[in-house]
Structure 1
Amino acid sequence: MLRLSKRLEMIAEQVPVGSRMADIGSDHALLPSYLAEQGRVSKAVAGEVNLGPYQAAAKQVRDAVLGSIIDVRLGDGLAVIEPGEVDVITIAGMGGALIATILEAGKDKLAGVSMLILQPNVGESFVRMWLLEHDWVLTREQILEEDGKIYEILTAVPAQLTEITNEKVYESRRVGEGIIANEELQLKLGPYLLQQPSSVWFLKWKLELDKLEMIRGQLAHSSLQESRSKEQIIEAEMKQIKEVLACLQKDKASFN
């Protein structure tokens, strides 16, 4: 019986029983193999763009004797599926900008897809923005720490399949006592994660502040005028994040 990482387990838990799924960038086809072993999917496509990972995924499926359920395909992004072929698409372990690019390039393949489960390693805002611009509604956000890394898992459904609206998801709301979180801020920090910030979420943004501080320090040593402009942008971003964290931590402390 296959064992998954906590990250992949959290993704697997969201795949509805009986789904036809496609896992893009399938990493040895671990996720579809696990779901097939559990009897959770009726069909799965494991897509890989490079030959080495494709061969590793094909071997995993052969060794597990799951070839009747899982079809391993070589191709770029959503090119490995046909419109209407799957209900659920998972894309995990890539940058958010790349995930958004894959979705954009293959958006004609999303006909009939009822759920996207996306796990960007970085650049979550690129994914949220793509979903918002293409009438996919974010229904759930999860965050976890595993092996020293922090991951967010974003789940979305087509707007026509839910009563939740993007206007409601991203409506301006008060954060803590003094800050109004507008759409832009929520695209960055996560609308659901902002409403129920966990210790892992706080840690993620403290680490992001450390990265921004390092970049700001590097820019401060540059004599280029362009560096001054970038430094000011980063300082404004850091100020905004610090204010949000301070408000939410104060709110959390008073609640406890």
Structure 2
Amino acid sequence: MIELSKRMQSVADMIQPCDAVGDIGCDHAFVSIYLVEQRRAKRVIASDVRRGPIAIAKRNIEAMNLSDQIEIRMGDGLDTIVPGEVNAVVLAGMGGMLMIDILERGEEVVTRCDQLVLQPQSDIEKVRRYLVEKGYHLADEQMLIDAGKYYNLLDVRVHEMVQKDEYDCSKLADDWCYMYGGSLLRKKDPVLRSWLVKRRDTTTGLINSLSGKNTENAAKRLKTVKAEQKTICAVLKQVYGIDG
């Protein structure tokens, strides 16, 4: 049986059992193999834009005798999928802005899916905002630590449409739900708490460093960092009851 990293195991486990999954940016196809082995998907279309990973993925799939259930395709984003061909799409290990671009260009494929499992490496707030703007339902969010790094996983249900006001953060404050994940805040997620505490301490160091610099750029950066720290401290106090 294929062994996955903690991050990719969580990604795979978030997929609801279905007929077909599109594993976009499949790398070595470990997630694709796992989904079929565990019968979470009857078939998988595993695609990547790079020749190297495609070649390795093909060898891995053949070694596991799964070529009849996992199809390898080379191409850019969701261009490799025909609308209606898959029930779920996995996008993991890429920047948030690239992820948004892939979803936007492949909207016809997305809207024929039931579920998206997303693991953006950056710009997570922008990804959350994009999903809500499109009316998709951010059903759940998980946060985990793997090899010392923090990761966010988003479970998106395409046809459980949500109105913008349903993602309202007024019970918390301002845009906290977009910034840190409404589901994580409502669950008082311990990993998010750990990340917030770590980020609070990091901003303290940045403030001390920037305070001694008399440049315009340093002044602007200092203002931004102080604002971030103020927000983090407010979240820690209101959500987790942590002062300081």
Q: Shift in Å at residue 118 of structure 1?
A: 0.5
Q: Shift in Å at residue 191 of structure 1?
A: 0.4
Q: In structure 2, do the counterparts of structure 1 residues 50 and 217 end up closer, same or farther at CA, with 3 Å as the change threshold?
A: farther
Aligned to 1:122: 122
Runs of 4+ that moved beyond 6 A: none
Deviations 1:187-235 (A, max 9, x none): 0110011111222111112222344445545544544324322321221
Aligned to 2:196: 205
1:155-174 equivalences under 5 Å are 155-158=155-158, 161-162=159-160, 165-174=163-172
Aligned to 1:231: 222
TM-score, normalising length: structure 1: 0.86
User: What is the one-letter code of the residue matched to 1:238?
Assistant: Q
Deviations 1:4-43 (A, max 9, x none): 2222222222322233111111131111111111222122
Query: Is the CA contact 2:21–2:86 (under 8 Å) kept in the aligned structure 1?
Result: yes
Q: In structure 2, do the counterparts of structure 1 residues 248 and 2 end up closer, same or farther at CA, with 3 Å as the change threshold?
A: same
| CA root-mean-square deviation | 2.2
CA distance in 2, matches of 1:45, 1:110: 15
CA distance in 2, matches of 1:97, 1:208: 22
Query: Is the CA contact 2:136–2:161 (under 8 Å) kept in the aligned structure 1?
Result: no
CA distance in 2, matches of 1:147, 1:153: 16
Q: In structure 2, do the counterparts of structure 1 residues 216 and 78 end up closer, same or farther at CA, with 3 Å as the change threshold?
A: farther
1:239-250 equivalences under 5 Å are 239-250=230-241
Query: How many residue pairs get matched?
Result: 243
1:25 maps to 2:25: yes
Q: In structure 2, do the counterparts of structure 1 residues 170 and 47 end up closer, same or farther at CA, with 3 Å as the change threshold?
A: farther
CA distance in 1, matches of 2:81, 2:104: 14
Q: In structure 2, do the counterparts of structure 1 residues 211 and 123 end up closer, same or farther at CA, with 3 Å as the change threshold?
A: farther
1:77 maps to 2:68: no
Q: Shift in Å at residue 105 of structure 1?
A: 2.6
User: What is the one-letter code of the residue matched to 2:183?
Assistant: Y
Q: In structure 2, do the counterparts of structure 1 residues 103 and 19 end up closer, same or farther at CA, with 3 Å as the change threshold?
A: same
Where does the alignment leave 5 or more consecutive residues of structure 2 unmatched? none
Q: In structure 2, do the counterparts of structure 1 residues 107 and 221 end up closer, same or farther at CA, with 3 Å as the change threshold?
A: farther
Deviations 1:149-200 (A, max 9, x none): 2211111112xx32754422334113xxxxxx23x22101100111112221
CA distance in 2, matches of 1:137, 1:18: 19
Deviates more, 1:204-213 or 1:186-195: 204-213
User: What is the one-letter code of the residue matched to 1:239?
Assistant: K
CA distance in 1, matches of 2:83, 2:77: 13
1:35-184 equivalences under 5 Å are 35-158=35-158, 161-162=159-160, 165-174=163-172, 181-182=173-174, 184=175
CA distance in 1, matches of 2:161, 2:98: 29
Query: Is the CA contact 1:137–1:166 (under 8 Å) kept in the aligned structure 2?
Result: no
User: What is the one-letter code of the residue matched to 1:241?
Assistant: I
CA distance in 2, matches of 1:240, 1:50: 40
